[in-house]
Structure 1
Amino acid sequence: MAYSLGLTLYHLAARREASPSGPRPARPAGRLLWLHAPGVDAARPLAELGARLAAEEGHPVLVTCPEPCPPLPGLIWQPPPPETQAEVRAFLDHWHPEIGVFAEGELRPALLHEAHERGVDLMLVDGRAPHFLRGRDGWWPGLMRGLLGQFSHILTLDEPAARAFRRAGGLLSAVKVAGRMEERSAALPCTEAERAALARLLATRPVWLAACLPEAEEDAVIAAHRAALRLAHRLLLIVVPHDPARTRPLAERMQAEQGWTVACRASDEEPDPETEVYIVENAAELGLWYRLAPVTYLGGSLSASGCQRDPMEGAALGSALIHGPKSGAHGAGLARLHGARAAVAVASGAELAEALSDLLAPDRAARLAQQAWVVASDGAEVTDRVIALICRLLDERR
């Protein structure tokens, strides 16, 4: 009774917020699987799950997310329908999914109720805490408990998350602690022959990388390199500017103000033994430099622009990471790294210099890089478990 009242009140409120959805691509043939992410961070492990389901099981996969996501071949990406009865019915009439997998804990009552009424098997993965769609929270009696009771499996990140789902109404038989699903590898490619040649050229020199460095942070990186050179006079700084146009002005500045020997990749120069700074204008080559630099500073994280690169890129390739307080679009990834003590946070240019000096010790950098690699590569067993559950549900529906 309470659930029906809560759902009715929710639908009445939704009528004032109706907005039509856009056109949809044709539905592919086959037993379609539907994955829903509340945001880009949650979409990453779902994209890996979807790619594996498409490749290993041969099923078409629809991924819905309200935020724009990088397209992945083999998956259908769509925004979710607006939370009105008419729109969710049109969405389900078109796609006819057999299984719906929701991430983290966002609940869309209109969509979930209609899917359950049509016999769609519902699962929840990477569960953090149950909550209604942002902007639609309110007093809906019995609604959350009723919706959570419709999920046959609720797989949470940890025990505190499991307790939150049980208290909110998840079935005791459904709620299980599973951990985090894996994400698609963030490891960027490079040419192995070139990496090997540069590794021989650099030999045993200590190296650090400033990845996608904005102009606003050049002073901090210059000061950190100057301080670190006092401890390791053979230290090489590799800079990938955020703006490639800064390559020549930055090289001239470092030469004029610091007296450093600077080489530029754009001029076909190499980092010979006398080179103290090597400037690379092409961010597409970061996969090469992450592999060669035991320590990386994530550019943009000290200034208002925010961290410019996914921290998992460097973590996946064995570079110890330093970053400032501005996470940009990568807050979730940095939080995961910090939870595993796999990155060093600094609040200022002075702290950047201190952190760099500390990580010049090879054992310290290697330990941090190993912890970061574990974070970047974990979750495969959880994804295997989710795939097995989905396959079992599909078999039971035959």
Structure 2
Amino acid sequence: MSRSLSLAAYRALSRRKFRASHIGDIERPDGELLWMHATSQDRLHVLCNLAARIKSQRPELKVLATVDQRRTDSFSPNGCDLLQVLGPDHPDQARQFLDHWRPDMCLWAGGDLMPNLITQARSRTIPMVLVDLAEDEVPARRSRWMPDLGRLTLGCFHQILVRDEAAAEVLRRAGFSSARVRVAGRLRTTATPPPCSDDLLDELSGDIGGRPVWFSVGTQPAEVDLVLEAHRNAVRLIHRLLLVIDVADPGDAVGLKDHIASKGMRCADWDDGDPIGEETQVVVSADPEALGLWYRIAPITFVASTFDRRPSGRNPFEPAALGSAVIHGPHTGNYPDAFARLDAISAAREVRNADQLSAQVVALSAPDQAARIALDAWKVATEGAELTDALIDLVQDMLDMREDTHAGP
């Protein structure tokens, strides 16, 4: 009885305290919709990274990411199809949100729970999983008028995955069973390295021979000259050094070969089938399917789009997971958590200009240096992979069960 009174009291209070806002004019896409809620900017990045992994196995799935109104600077990184900023936890707005989006499942990361929204979602039998809950995020007793509101809200989740044993113990003391609460570790960005044809890798390795190679991935037009200047400087010390430039947008490759030639460098266009000879200094590639090949060929990867303040770029764990040492610029775009984790243990090198970039390329061309930093980066890149894989399986299973009994529109 006290729990239902707690919720009734909270709903009455939130009606008086908050004003419902318009839910927006974005149409709900057809088919299955996975709703992911992030309670921090870092979690938004990680969830959308997870979404991309899930969608690679479930191509028809659409993903809605939500954040609360205190994080209106948030944007939707790669992997999430839609971004909705939630207003206050008003009961009418919760109803409008659920009526409009009709999600097939909810994955909620972190604390800052919204009792009206969460309890209404549970009443509609929407499967919900709470992940990455830290000890200090476990809802506390609000007041003598709403003593069990936090426990009632947490009880709406089918599973609760916490960061550590301390958080799990708090929940067990609150009456949650070990079957529902699981210590899973911290939710982190991971990466699935892009595939590569073994035959093509062997063939290209033979063509290049023993030449040192470095790779600039996701290069923006404004970064091309910086990368070329760094390469020119590095070649003075490593005469056979080969640069591979991948462009951020395939359209940016038009005219790039001529631009490189105008700088006095001999260039091959990979997409046009140009041969890579001993005299080739730069290779241009715009084919995203070739990324796995270049990550494996190059022991050094400059993750570009990091001299651009706009949110963009690629996940640095892609090259790191394949043993390529990572260099990056000052702006970490869509992957701040991944870059911060690498930088924290010197498993990546940050540069701020062409001179610094060339210096790091030269330094990491020494096999022992590249191997050390690549090993450290690989350890970071694969941390959290077990939790990510488990979540992918859990989401797939829950959506399959939902499809069997409550097929989406």
What's the CA shift for 1:43? 3.1
What's the CA shift for 1:251? 1.5
Q: 1:247 aligns with which of 247, 252, 256?
A: 256
Higher deviation after alignment, 265-274 or 378-387: 378-387
What's the CA shift for 1:115? 3.3
Higher deviation after alignment, 240-249 or 204-213: 240-249
SS in 2 for 1:224: helix
What's the CA shift for 1:280? 2.6
SS in 1 for 2:246: strand
Structure 2 residues without counterparts, runs of 5 or longer: 39-43, 67-74, 140-144
Structure-1 separation of matches of 2:137 and 2:340: 20
1:319 matched to which residue of 2? 324
Q: Is 1:192 aligned to 2:198, yes or no?
A: yes
Q: How does 1:133-152 map to 2 (within 5 A)?
A: 145=150, 149-150=154-155, 151=157
What's the CA shift for 1:371? 3.2
Q: Is 1:269 aligned to 2:278, yes or no?
A: no
What's the CA shift for 1:77? 7.9
What's the CA shift for 1:201? 1.1
Number of residues paired by the alignment?
368
1:8 matched to which residue of 2? 12
What's the CA shift for 1:176? 5.4
- Aligned CA distance change for structure 1 residues 77 and 352 (closer, same or farther; 3 Å): closer
What's the CA shift for 1:354? 2.4
Higher deviation after alignment, 36-45 or 120-129: 120-129
What TM-score, normalized by structure 1, do the two folds share? 0.72
2:238 matched to which residue of 1? 232
Please give the per-residue CA displacement for 1:147-183, whole angstroms capped at 9, x wherever unaligned: 66435754334579x49x959x987867654224576
Structure 1 residues without counterparts, runs of 5 or longer: 133-139
Structure-2 separation of matches of 1:212 and 1:390: 31
Q: Is 1:36 aligned to 2:41, yes or no?
A: no
What's the CA shift for 1:274? 2.2
What's the CA shift for 1:18? 3.5
- Aligned CA distance change for structure 1 residues 108 and 232 (closer, same or farther; 3 Å): same
Higher deviation after alignment, 330-339 or 76-85: 76-85
Contact conserved, 2:51 with 2:79, CA < 8 A, in 1? Answer: no
- Aligned CA distance change for structure 1 residues 157 and 219 (closer, same or farther; 3 Å): farther
The letter for the 2-side match of 1:10 is S
What TM-score, normalized by structure 2, do the two folds share? 0.70
1:218 matched to which residue of 2? 224
Q: 1:367 aligns with which of 369, 372, 381?
A: 372
2:350 matched to which residue of 1? 345
- Aligned CA distance change for structure 1 residues 4 and 339 (closer, same or farther; 3 Å): farther
SS in 1 for 2:196: coil
- Aligned CA distance change for structure 1 residues 308 and 385 (closer, same or farther; 3 Å): closer
SS in 2 for 1:353: helix
- Aligned CA distance change for structure 1 residues 8 and 223 (closer, same or farther; 3 Å): same
Structure-2 separation of matches of 1:26 and 1:342: 43
1:136 matched to which residue of 2? none
Q: How does 1:1-398 map to 2 (within 5 A)?
A: 5-19=9-23, 24=28, 36-38=36-38, 39-45=44-50, 48=53, 63-66=63-66, 68=76, 83-89=89-95, 100-116=106-122, 122-127=128-133, 130=137, 145=150, 149-150=154-155, 151=157, 153-157=159-163, 162=167, 177-180=183-186, 185-242=191-248, 243-255=252-264, 260-265=265-270, 268-305=273-310, 308-339=313-344, 341-383=346-388
Contact conserved, 1:40 with 1:69, CA < 8 A, in 2? Answer: yes
- Aligned CA distance change for structure 1 residues 330 and 283 (closer, same or farther; 3 Å): same
- Aligned CA distance change for structure 1 residues 131 and 229 (closer, same or farther; 3 Å): farther
Structure-1 separation of matches of 2:36 and 2:63: 6
